[in-house]
Amino acid sequence: MTLNVAIAGASGYAGGEILRLLLNHPAYISGDLTIGALTGGSNAGQSLGDLMPHLPQLRDRRLVDTNKDTLAGHDVVFLGLPHGFSAEIAQQLGPDTIVIDCAADFRLKNKADWEKFYGSEHAGTWAYGIPEMPGHREQIKNTNRVAVPGCFPTGATLAALPAVAKQLVEPTLNVVSITGVSGAGKKASVAMLGAETMGNAKAYNTAGKHRHTPEITQNLAEVTDKQVSVSFTPVLAPMPRGILTTITAPLISDEDPHAIYAEFYKDEPFVHVLPVGEQPQTKNVVGSNSVHIQVEANPDAGVLLVTSAIDNLTKGTAGAAVQCMNLTVGYHETAGLPLTGLAP
pLDDT in tens, 184-238: 666 667 776 777 778 888 898 889 888 899 999 999 999 999 999 999 999 999 8
Q: Say what the pLDDT of residue 298 is.
A: 95
Q: Where in the chain is the domain with CATH 3.40.50.720?
A: 3-148+317-329
Bridge partners, residue 243, by sequence: 179, 310
Q: Say what the pLDDT of residue 184 is.
A: 64
What's the pTM? 0.94
> Does 152-310 carry CATH code 3.60.20.10?
no
Q: Say what the pLDDT of residue 108 is.
A: 94
Q: Say what the pLDDT of residue 187 is.
A: 65
Q: What are phi and psi of 337, to 5 degrees?
A: -110, 120
- Is 102 assigned a catalytic role? no
Give CA–CA dist 198/280, Å, rounded: 23
Q: Say what the pLDDT of residue 268 is.
A: 97
What architecture does CATH give domain 3-148+317-329? Answer: 3-Layer(aba) Sandwich (3.40)
Q: What are phi and psi of 100, to 5 degrees?
A: -120, 110
Closest CA to 26 of 329, 343, 342, 341: 329
Question: Packing angle between helix 13-23 and helix 319-329, nearest 10 degrees?
Answer: 50
Q: Are strands 145-147 and 229-236 parallel, antiparallel or unpaired?
A: unpaired
Q: Say what the pLDDT of residue 344 is.
A: 83
Give CA–CA dist 79/141, Å, rounded: 18
Low-confidence residues of the chain, pLDDT below 50? Answer: none
Catalytic residue from among 8, 104, 147, 151:
151
Label residues 323-344 b or e (16+ Cβ within 10 Å = b): bbbbbbbebebebbbbeebeee
Closest CA to 311 of 234, 240, 215, 213: 240
Q: Are strands 271-273 and 291-298 parallel, antiparallel or unpaired?
A: parallel
Q: Say what the pLDDT of residue 3 is.
A: 95
Closest CA to 115 of 83, 141, 162, 157: 83
Q: Where in the chain is the domain with CATH 3.30.360.10?
A: 152-310
